[in-house]
């Protein structure tokens, strides 16, 4: 199958490799060609523009940074909606807004295209190990078309409902993560203050009722002082802001989410927006009395 892939960043790069390994032709575009050099060496076909990808792809996946980037890729004159061939399936893997996902779905159908919002969770390790969770919104028939491709890099793929439902589900995911990562940082901070062996503490609590992905994965990274981004702090801030805005529209109060967002905002102001989400531990280090 001829697949277009737009956005070959930390996670996108691994997904393109899985598609190539499955024997698909993958046409790629990224704002910075140099960042896609290893994929080109692996056999991906470089395209100079988004428009160029549309002329030679049956399915086009997008994984970009922010809703504004999604808007540009889909709705600009050179974008997907205006130029994709009739019947093309568009799959947006970006975490974006539910309202934008609905706009894409409406515009795609008007042009004879198919669309899914399909944000992912699992970070760079999930992308590399083909264990991502994907939360989809759209029509059942389009979901079934996409499923064999999504299964190449995911182990948990569910259709949540109509267009926008995937993005709403991803907001639920990010809300849960916000509390978990704060809890992980606070548990480690407490263990250190109490003079405990932190790794020993982690070995105990990560197997009991406190067990979570954050504790098992980012907990060890915090101990190792490894702040490389499996998922960027700046992107998590973006996600939390989307969730806060959506909750406001629903007249829903989420105080825990607002607190996490405020702590990460402080982190970003301190120049740490390009570190991984586990870098929240810096806030706790800086605020110890």
Residues with active-site annotation: 170
With beta carbons less than 8 A apart as the criterion, state whether 280 and 259 touch.
no
The owner of tokens 């994965």 is 217
With beta carbons less than 8 A apart as the criterion, state whether 241 and 261 touch.
yes
Tokens representing residue 86 in the block:
């009739």
Phi, psi torsion values for 149, nearest 5 degrees: -75, -45
- Per DSSP, the residues of the chain read -EEEEE--STTHHHHHHHHHHTT-EEEEE-SSGGGGHHHHHHTPEE-SSHHHHHTT-SEEEE--SSHHHHHHHHHSTTSHHHHSPTT-EEEE-S---HHHHHHHHHHHHHTT-EEEE--EESHHHHHHHT-EEEEEES-HHHHHHHHHHHTTSEEEEEEEESTTHHHHHHHHHHHHHHHHHHHHHHHHHHHHHTT--HHHHHHHHTTSTT--HIIIIIHHHHHTT----SSBHHHHHHHHHHHHHHHHHTT---HHHHHHHHHHHHHHHTT-TTSBGGGGHHHHHHT--
Our measurement of the distance from residue 47's CA atom to the centroid of its chain's CA atoms, rounded to an integer in Å, reads 23
């Amino acid at each position: 199958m001829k697949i277009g892939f737009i956005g070959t960043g930390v996670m996108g790069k691994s997904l393109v490799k899985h598609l190539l390994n499955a024997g698909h032709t993958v046409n790629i575009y990224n704002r910075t060609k140099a960042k896609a050099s290893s994929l080109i060496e692996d056999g991906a076909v470089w395209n100079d523009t988004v428009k160029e990808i549309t002329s030679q792809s049956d399915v086009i996946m997008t994984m970009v940074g922010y809703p504004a980037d999604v808007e540009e890729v889909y709705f600009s004159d050179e974008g997907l909606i205006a130029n994709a061939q009739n019947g093309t399936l568009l799959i947006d893997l970006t975490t974006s807004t539910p309202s934008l996902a609905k706009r894409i779905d409406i515009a795609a159908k008007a042009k004879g295209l198919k669309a899914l919002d399909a944000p992912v969770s699992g970070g760079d390790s999930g992308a590399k190990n083909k264990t991502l969770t994907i939360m989809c919104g759209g029509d059942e028939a389009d979901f079934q078309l996409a499923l064999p491709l999504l299964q190449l890099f995911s182990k948990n793929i569910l259709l949540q409902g109509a267009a926008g439902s995937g993005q709403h589900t991803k907001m639920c995911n990010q809300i849960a993560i916000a509390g978990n990562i704060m809890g992980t940082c606070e548990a480690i901070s407490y263990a250190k203050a109490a003079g405990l062996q932190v790794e020993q503490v982690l070995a105990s609590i990560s197997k009991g009722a406190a067990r979570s992905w954050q504790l098992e994965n980012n907990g060890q990274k915090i101990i190792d002082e490894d702040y490389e981004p499996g998922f960027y702090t700046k992107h998590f801030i973006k996600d939390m802001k989307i969730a806060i805005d959506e909750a406001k529209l629903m007249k829903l109060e989420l105080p825990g989410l607002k607190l996490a967002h405020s702590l990460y905002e402080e982190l970003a102001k301190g120049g740490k927006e390009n570190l991984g989400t586990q870098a929240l531990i810096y806030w706790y280090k800086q605020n110890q009395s």
